[in-house]
Amino acid sequence: MVSMDGSPASPVQVPRTVPGLIRVSSAQEDLWLAQKLVPGLPNNISAYLDVSGEIDRWVMDTALRRVLGEAQSVLVNFVEDVDGPRQVARDPNQWNPFFVDVSGDVDPESVARASMADLVGQPFDLERDALYRAGLIKLGDFRYFLFAVSHHLVMDGFGVAILARRIAEVYTSLATGASIPESGFGGPELINAEDARYRRSGRFTRDREFWRDYTAGLPEPLRLLGDRSSPDLVTLHCSVSVSGDEFTRWAEASESMGVPVPAFLAAAAAGFLHRISGMPEFVVRLAVANRVGRARSTPGMMANAVPLGVKCPPGSRFVDVARGVGAEILSILRHCRYQGSDIRRDMGLSGSVENRFGPVLNIIPFFGSLDFAGSSAVMRGVSFGPVDDLSISVYYDRRGSDGMRIEIDGNGAIYSGEDLRLYSDLLVAFTRAVTANPSGAVRAIDILEPTERALMLRTWNETAVAIP
Q: What is the pLDDT of residues 26-43, one digit of tens each?
A: 888 888 887 887 777 778
Query: Do 453 and 322 share a structural domain?
Result: yes
What pLDDT does 400 receive? 63
| 68-124 per-position pLDDT tens digit | 999 999 999 999 888 889 999 999 999 999 999 999 999 999 999 999 999 988 889
Residue 17: pLDDT band (50, 70, 90) is: very low
User: Would you say residue 290 lies in a domain?
Assistant: yes
pTM as predicted? 0.85
CA dist., res. 145 & res. 166, Å (int) = 16
User: Would you say residue 342 lies in a domain?
Assistant: yes
| 293-328 per-position pLDDT tens digit | 888 889 999 999 999 999 999 899 999 999 999 999
Residue 142: partners with Cβ closer than 8 Å, 6 or more residues away: 52, 53, 54
CA dist., res. 229 & res. 222, Å (int) = 20
Query: Do 365 and 302 share a structural domain?
Result: yes
User: Would you say residue 193 lies in a domain?
Assistant: no
What pLDDT does 13 receive? 40
Query: Do 443 and 295 share a structural domain?
Result: yes
What pLDDT does 15 receive? 37
* Overall domain count for the chain: 2
What pLDDT does 450 receive? 44
User: Would you say residue 16 lies in a domain?
Assistant: no
Query: Do 152 and 225 share a structural domain?
Result: no
User: Would you say residue 11 lies in a domain?
Assistant: no
User: Would you say residue 138 lies in a domain?
Assistant: yes
Query: Do 227 and 139 share a structural domain?
Result: no
Query: Do 167 and 230 share a structural domain?
Result: no
Query: Do 221 and 153 share a structural domain?
Result: no
Amino acid at 224: L
Mean pLDDT across the chain: 86
| 247-265 per-position pLDDT tens digit | 999 999 999 999 999 999 9
Query: Do 223 and 140 share a structural domain?
Result: no
- Please give the biggest Cα pair distance in the chain: 67
**What's the CATH number where 30 sits?**
3.30.559.10
CA dist., res. 464 & res. 17, Å (int) = 54
Query: Do 257 and 394 share a structural domain?
Result: yes
User: Would you say residue 263 lies in a domain?
Assistant: yes
Question: Pick from 178, 212, 235: which residue ends a domain?
Answer: 178
| 136-148 per-position pLDDT tens digit | 999 999 999 999 9
Residue 270: pLDDT band (50, 70, 90) is: very high
| 397-442 per-position pLDDT tens digit | 877 667 888 999 998 888 889 999 999 999 999 999 999 999 999 9
What pLDDT does 26 receive? 87
Which of 146-155, 191-200, 365-374 has the highest average model confidence (pLDDT)?
A: 146-155
Query: Do 268 and 332 share a structural domain?
Result: yes
Query: Do 140 and 222 share a structural domain?
Result: no
Residue 291: pLDDT band (50, 70, 90) is: confident
Judged against a pLDDT cut of 60, whether residue 466 lies above it is answered with no
Domain that holds residue 353: 202-460
301 contacts 152 by C-beta, under 8 angstroms: yes
Q: How far apart are the first and last CA of the chain?
A: 29
Amino acid at 289: A
**What's the CATH number where 264 sits?**
3.30.559.30
Residue 461: pLDDT band (50, 70, 90) is: very low
DSSP-derived pairing of the beta strands 44-52 and 98-101? unpaired
User: Would you say residue 14 lies in a domain?
Assistant: no
